[in-house]
Amino acid sequence: MRLVQIFSLALGYFALAQLALMFNSPSSHAVILWPAAGLAIVALLGWGIARWPGVWLGYFASDLLYRLQTATSEDHTTLIALSALLACGASLQAVLSARLLRPALQRSAPLEHEQQTFRCLLQAIPLCSLIAASIGCMGLTLLQGLPSARLLETWLTWWAGDTLGILLVLPLLLPLLPSLRSHWPKRALHIAIPPLVTCALVILGDIGLQRLERANWQARLTAAGEDIRDLLAIQMTRQSQRLLAVSDLFDTGVEPSAHQLERFARRALTMDGLHALAWVPWHGCQGLPPPSVRSSSATSG
């Protein structure tokens, strides 16, 4: 029975994690909403702390799969070590959160009012969410080289994602546990409505920001392409003008004089990319080929 519960927890955690990762940007190191953290706490409250390996297995499998799919040239050993460390942080957070919340949820005087229950959750859950965010940022810094400039942003996103995920899932699933049903308000759905609305707004805002970032990136890419096109067009026009100038000089069929070539060279050398011109007349000697540029190399006799 214990193994069945562990693997059931791992499967549920994996499914919720994959669902959350579907909305994650590849450039982001943290997810804006992580409901699997709430599932882990509810499972440990209902089935016992000893089922924590299910949290570890679910997090490790989902995180490693995601990193292998998005990795470019990183060593797989590093990815495995990072996923294992992050799974330890998620498991530790679930264990400590369950131990912290159990006395408040099972005390003799049940929490009959939604405001009192919600206040209890708001006091405990943000504190519990510090664990995974802190261990996760430490692992990303040590094993993946997370830039210090993005450390605070990643930590805050990680902490907020776990906090919102727990606040969303906990009120919805706790009434399903027989051991806690008598101690939990019957109108638990009313408690879940505020975090549910908040999570929906956060997700919609995050999706909007991602689309805005992609649109800005596409606009910058289009502008850069147009600049390169204009630059190439200017260079091609200048090269064509040089060729046309040389063609006009010799198009008359009469060999130009030295004075004409000197005037042409003086004007041509003002063009960008042209550094030197030389007049080498060829009077043609019988048996001798026209002059050509040849490369020579020393050979041993």
What pLDDT is stored for residue 296 in this prediction?
A: 41
Residue with tokens 């049940």: 110
Higher pLDDT, 70 or 251: 70
What 8-state DSSP symbol labels residue 290? P
**Between these two residues, 288 and 172, which has the higher pLDDT value?**
172
In angstroms, the CA 151 to CA 292 distance is 64
Task: Read off the pLDDT band of 238 (50, 70, 90).
Answer: confident
Residue scoring higher pLDDT (287 or 133): 133
pLDDT value of position 18: 92
Residue 218: predicted pLDDT: 81
Q: Is the pLDDT of residue 49 over 50?
A: yes
* Higher pLDDT among residues 278 and 189, named by residue: 278
**pLDDT value of residue 277:** 64
- Structure confidence by residue, pLDDT tens digits, 77-120: 889 999 999 999 999 999 998 888 877 666 545 455 555 666 66
| pLDDT above 70 as % of the chain | 64
- Rounded Cα distance between 136 and 87, Å, is 9
Rounded distance, CA 195 to CA 191, Å?
A: 8
Q: What is the pLDDT of residue 229?
A: 84
Task: Please state which of the ranges 14-23, 112-121, 124-133, 254-263 shows the lowest mean pLDDT.
Answer: 112-121
Confidence at residue 292, expressed as pLDDT on a 0 to 100 scale: 46
Both structure tokens of 173: 């699933």
Average pLDDT rounded to a whole number, residues 112-133: 73
Tell me the pLDDT of the chain averaged across its residues.
77
Which residue has 């006091």 as its token pair? 123
List C-alpha distances in Å: 98 to 53, 95, 134.
14, 5, 18
The 10s digit of each residue's pLDDT in 160-182 is: 889 888 888 887 787 777 766 65
- Measured on CA atoms in the order 247, 248, 251, 253, is the torsion positive or negative? negative
pLDDT of residue 107: 57
CA distances from 245 to 233, 274, 276 (A): 18, 13, 15
Dmax (CA) for the chain in angstroms is: 120
